[in-house]
Structure 1
Amino acid sequence: MFHRGPVFVLICSHGYRAMSGNTVTIPDDRAFASFKAECLCEEGWSLTCSKGGITVWTQGLEEGKPVHKIKCRMVCKDVSAETMYDVLHDTEYRRKWDSNVIETFDIGKLTVNADVGYYSWKCPKPLRNRDVITLRSWLPIGRDYIIMNYSVKHAKYPPKKDMVRAVSIQTGYMIQSTGPNSCTLTYLAQVDPRGSLPKWVVNKSFNFLAPHAMKKINKACLKYSEWKQRHNPNFKPWLNPEQTTLPSISLSELSIQHAESLENIDESSLPETHEREDSD
């Protein structure tokens, strides 16, 4: 379903956790309301860039630390909220349009609107690639939609030797319908990439990678209807839970993924390589 890691490298660290403590819980209505409020709030956020209908804000939580949170909002004048929701959920379609994905799959379902899955993604060279295991939940609210996740541990999917296991403290999307064929997409994330990262990665993430990733999502939405007609058009388990083929798993199989227990690598001195950017 919708990818579980950031759409670009995020420069974040420890701090606020949406799901506190050591107990894995499924978000309730209050958690969704809190996420929506933070998506809408601009107080305490610093405007980083605004261009072509895409706005990026950042927020730091501790003195002397790199930026901890990012919020990116895109106005889509040619995509419905329903289509955006489908695209962010459809794992098979993501493998087609998301050039950053290395591997993504669903592990199991918890409830009709919560599951657990794996996602790994490419980081800008020469950084090591990252992966995450997350508990994801989603909730349609009228014609608006929220999808959000946070990191968990599952015994069958430990960190890999060739990957850095990142931590999603809170990551998600809010899609607001603004008309029959228009919507606003807000991406809000706090992710610990487990490592001291170069300043150029910070700048690139907020000034280029965030807007670029949002544009790719918009382009993917424009092509989705045609693609879906040729690929199991009626299969949408995120709308029709009875269609899911995922095995049921118990919350007892999961625990909170604390960043402190994972490898922390120092990549702060790595130079930037000028690789060709994906233009899709």
Structure 2
Amino acid sequence: MSDQTVTIPDDRAFASFESECLCEEGWTIKYNKEGLTVWTQRLEEGKSVHKFKCRMVCKEVSAETMYDVLHDTEYRRKWDTNVIETFDIGKLTVNADVGYYSWNCPPPLKNRDVITLRSWLPIGKDYIIMNYSVKHTRYPPKKDMVRAVSIQTGYLIQCQGPKSCYLTYLAQVDPRGSLPKWVVNKSSQLLAPRAMRKINKACLKYSDWKQRHNPGFKPWLYPEQTTLPSIPLSELSIQHAESLENIDESSLADTQEREDSD
């Protein structure tokens, strides 16, 4: 990916992402408990970019099921309690599309949204799903949201047998704003582990749910099933963080955390 032109990731881009998911040099462990580890990486002082990585051992979950769950937008609306709105905008190739996602941030921060070019690739029995931010003229930033920037975000799913896998989540994101230190700490030590365990829990329930909701429809496996309109790359441009509003939320204090209903 160049700084200006939107491109579809090639094999080298996938290999680079996989390598970074597996590398532990230069990363600092912030959480390590019950088969789940969270690392952060210190970036340039004064920069608002945050980079962290989570890896979880998923028992009783196959790599194939994990791959389906992370792709299934309809199912995400059910299990992802942070999602405000998510939808696919259009397809680029058989393994690349463009989508919208908005999510709730910890109060009292403003909620965020993002437009991303997502691509995916099976590698033997393993899988990669990754994305980066793009701009589309039909989906400009909203007044009640902060448009965040995904520099590179995604998942590596490693098969460990018929009913076991490793899930690694790697995120390099600019949330557009000077965030208070408690947000960074809370994200690595509480929110990220909770989100990973929620994915694992969703996988355990997916088979039963999918049997009742269009069980044969999996366009990420069968591209001929897709109903998305084709989008030419010329309609997209790179989303540079510098072109977006930067807000200062560094002085906001943490509010009393609400317990999850589940």
TM-score w.r.t. structure 2 length? Answer: 0.98
Write out aligned runs for 1:173-212 (5 A): 173-212=155-194
State the AA in 2 paired with 1:113: N
Q: Distance in 2 between matches of 1:166 and 1:140?
A: 28
Segments of 4+ moved more than 3 angstroms: 63-67
Residue pair 1:151, 1:168 contacting (<8 A) in 2 also: yes
1:61 Cα offset (Å)? 2.2
Tell me which residue corresponds to 1:62: 44
1:271 Cα offset (Å)? 1.1
Q: Does 1:236 align with 2:218?
A: yes
Match 1:160 to one of 139, 142, 150: 142
Write out aligned runs for 1:4-153 (5 A): 19-63=1-45, 65=47, 68-153=50-135
Tell me which residue corresponds to 2:197: 215
Where does the alignment leave 5 or more consecutive residues of structure 1 unmatched?
1-18
State the AA in 1 paired with 2:258: R
1:66 Cα offset (Å)? 6.3
**C-alpha distance after superposition, 1:241-275 (max 9, x if no partner):** 00000000100000000000001000011111113
Residue pair 1:59, 1:67 contacting (<8 A) in 2 also: no
- Identity fraction in percent: 85
1:67 Cα offset (Å)? 6.8
Q: Distance in 2 between matches of 1:66 and 1:239?
A: 36
**C-alpha distance after superposition, 1:3-55 (max 9, x if no partner):** xxxxxxxxxxxxxxxx3310000000000000000000001111111001100
Change in Cα spacing, 1:67 to 1:193, as seen in structure 2 (3 Å) is closer
1:94 Cα offset (Å)? 0.4
1:62 Cα offset (Å)? 1.4
1:170 Cα offset (Å)? 0.3
Residue pair 2:88, 2:99 contacting (<8 A) in 1 also: yes
Match of 2:98, SS state, is: strand
Change in Cα spacing, 1:41 to 1:168, as seen in structure 2 (3 Å) is same
Where does the alignment leave 5 or more consecutive residues of structure 2 unmatched?
none
RMSD: 1.0
Q: Distance in 2 between matches of 1:24 and 1:64?
A: 28
1:65 Cα offset (Å)? 4.7
TM-score w.r.t. structure 1 length? Answer: 0.92
Aligned length: 262
Match of 1:73, SS state, is: strand
